[in-house]
Structure 1
């Protein structure tokens, strides 16, 4: 371990993921409290409707929005480390234009389709107006450009503050709404306002950091990034990959709501929320790992050694998380949500395997992106999502919520297996200088 800590990239990975992990732990507890207050205040059916309306907007954002922060790191991180700021400015201008136009397009499309397809997902006609109003948040969801700026400038501390402050605020306000007996509309308004606040914070901080480092001049929004090689190809591959990822989050909840009803969507959301809380460290490790790996020479053994060390740390976290979910899941549900929601525990037991899978595979997508192989994670996720979508209806019909959870688990197993094969193939192709076992930190 002493040798590991001598590696500055490994230390940076631990430091930055530590910032984010601490913040996400707080945010996870706040989110759980939010769901508990909302569930107790609205009851199973109305809580299910709230989840379906929020999930619809999240799904529309996930499908339409570009993960433009990846562009900023991919094209700006390496050159900036060498003293060249222009690629960062060009990537920021491209990312900003993508955020604005895709956000507006996603909102208009979601609002246009909602009256036609809302019933498919269990949203009744009487609540369509509420859902339409909530769709106004879509352009503000996933503030990707400022997130990319803050990550490239190593301001993970600000990101950790942002990711914890608005879930805490939401939990407090939803708790007040439960106490005062507010209904679905009041809680949706709180969800909207706190989401807006949380998404605007990174924009302010990102611009402030650019000005502080005198990097703000010369940033021009454009959809024609002529100075960034294959930027559109990279952006489209990442966008489709993340859009497919949405099928396992909000879209999955919409599918469950359409197949089994709002009450089942509520139980699925509770189970997925608790399972996702155990999966958060993987997302945080990946976000901290990506800026490190793009600064390294992938033809040397050092980034691959960092990958293996990160996997071993994540594996230890994953085994612990799996055990905690299996032992404490039912008491947590009963204590937080009440007896009415205990039906979420059986699907949670099945979903508990997913955090372990995602944790041990967290370095794979960033490594493939750094290798300029953006289509590789896309292929893996496309196959995994196809498996999920093919299995969710028949398994749900046969085994109810446990079947939906099993489809989710099997889709993730296939996705991770494909990415392992892809990464191993790239490693064999590159043949990094020096064996991993002999690489010096």
Structure 2
């Protein structure tokens, strides 16, 4: 590796370490919260809590603009040359996107709540679907705040809000277990955890902006509401819809399993996925740390380093995947038994299917950020849409026939389709020495038109 690539890997692994430490602590707290909540509420009521939260989260992620990605994609060059006016306009643009997404999410949640309350098992004995909980979607969008922390290389601060949310839930679950809280009480606890994380992210982002030399005098006031950067809207739409469909698909699969097999099966399926995804999480944490570095290499037209970084990461992921499979086979069933008090028998097959799915998702670690940084986000979106057109009906069909094993198999085949939709465009581009025609806009980070697109 040349010196530039060595320095890049040092930053990526350092920032990944920050993210991994925070996410690891959050995951441990989440597992502890799950175990306590299941014992306090029972598996069925916990499944209802999970489905209600999955519904509200689905409304949020399905309407959320991924504001941190345009902030990095187009703001990196502006930040490096301390172009305060243009950067402030872009930052305000991204903050507006967060607010718009939250309001759209609340509207969708209110319109869909009454029908879905019956569909995924909200019992009549509890009265009306808890409409007050739906307002939690107003506190789920923090993309622009995270973008500020990642752009300024303050990854150690970007995990604090998630950690705080996990601590609030865990301490609350201890209290709920001891005091015999009801389902409504646990809903209030989940709500408080989202509000705490939202508030902390906003405070940290404002602090970072006020203590960054290149942004001294930064203000969101006195600048246009929307940025005139060329290509910004198309890029934002592509990455936002792709990520929305990705996260929405995960939550919708839980809802489909709940509708077909009941709340208990939905809880088992979701926790199995959490275990499988958690074992693969260390490598997945590399994606947000890698993306800004690829944007910087793209701005420098350093195609050789981009190719070298991608190949090295793919090699490392091969070895890591073997470790994950072995851990799932020997540790996963025991962990599932401890968390949900379900028998070991029948869980290993589902765990292996879900772990293989998580491994396929791992191989997106270098592919997705490199395609996004090279303005191929629309190709990722097309691949996602094509896959989802068959994956959810396929999930419903296989779950109806083979139960939990069918649900796991359908999830695996869906992820395989997503992976192939990323691998294909990368292989086509990599045939050219300098990634010829890789970007439709040769300088997206600094290309600004005279009027809005």
TM-score of the superposition, structure 1-length normalised? Answer: 0.91
Distance in 1 between residues matched to 2:177 and 2:222, nearest whole Å: 43
Q: Which residue of 1 aligns with 2:161?
A: 162
Correspondent of 1:350 among 348, 353, 364: 353
Q: Which residue of 2 aligns with 1:174?
A: 173
Contact 2:114/2:129 (<8 A) preserved: no
Contact 2:84/2:218 (<8 A) preserved: no
Aligned residues: 432
Q: Which residue of 2 aligns with 1:384?
A: 387
Distance in 2 between residues matched to 1:43 and 1:415, nearest whole Å: 36
Contact 2:363/2:419 (<8 A) preserved: no
Distance in 2 between residues matched to 1:287 and 1:207, nearest whole Å: 20
Q: Which residue of 2 aligns with 1:265?
A: 266
Q: Which residue of 2 aligns with 1:438?
A: none
Question: What do residues 128-175 of structure 1 show as CA deviations (whole Å, max 9, x unaligned)?
Answer: 645322111101113111001110011100013333232133112112
Bigger mean CA deviation after superposition, 276-285 or 203-212: 276-285
Q: Which residue of 2 aligns with 1:328?
A: 331
TM-score of the superposition, structure 2-length normalised? Answer: 0.89
Distance in 2 between residues matched to 1:47 and 1:79, nearest whole Å: 47
Contact 1:268/1:344 (<8 A) preserved: no
Bigger mean CA deviation after superposition, 410-419 or 377-386: 377-386
2:16 matched to 1:17?
yes
Q: Which residue of 1 aligns with 2:403?
A: 400
Question: What do residues 54-92 of structure 1 show as CA deviations (whole Å, max 9, x unaligned)?
Answer: 000000001111111111111102332244344432221
Q: CA deviation at 1:263?
A: 1.4
Q: Which residue of 1 aligns with 2:37?
A: 38
Distance in 1 between residues matched to 2:170 and 2:83, nearest whole Å: 43
Contact 1:94/1:221 (<8 A) preserved: no
2:306 matched to 1:307?
no
Cα gap change, 1:318 to 1:392, in 2 (>3 Å): same
Bigger mean CA deviation after superposition, 54-63 or 154-163: 154-163
Q: CA deviation at 1:429?
A: 4.5
Q: Which residue of 2 aligns with 1:238?
A: 239
Contact 1:311/1:359 (<8 A) preserved: no
Q: Which residue of 2 aligns with 1:278?
A: 279
Q: Which residue of 1 aligns with 2:449?
A: none
Q: CA deviation at 1:101?
A: 1.6
Cα gap change, 1:279 to 1:268, in 2 (>3 Å): same
Bigger mean CA deviation after superposition, 29-38 or 275-284: 275-284
Cα gap change, 1:216 to 1:367, in 2 (>3 Å): farther
Q: CA deviation at 1:41?
A: 1.4
Distance in 2 between residues matched to 1:116 and 1:341, nearest whole Å: 36
Q: CA deviation at 1:204?
A: 0.5
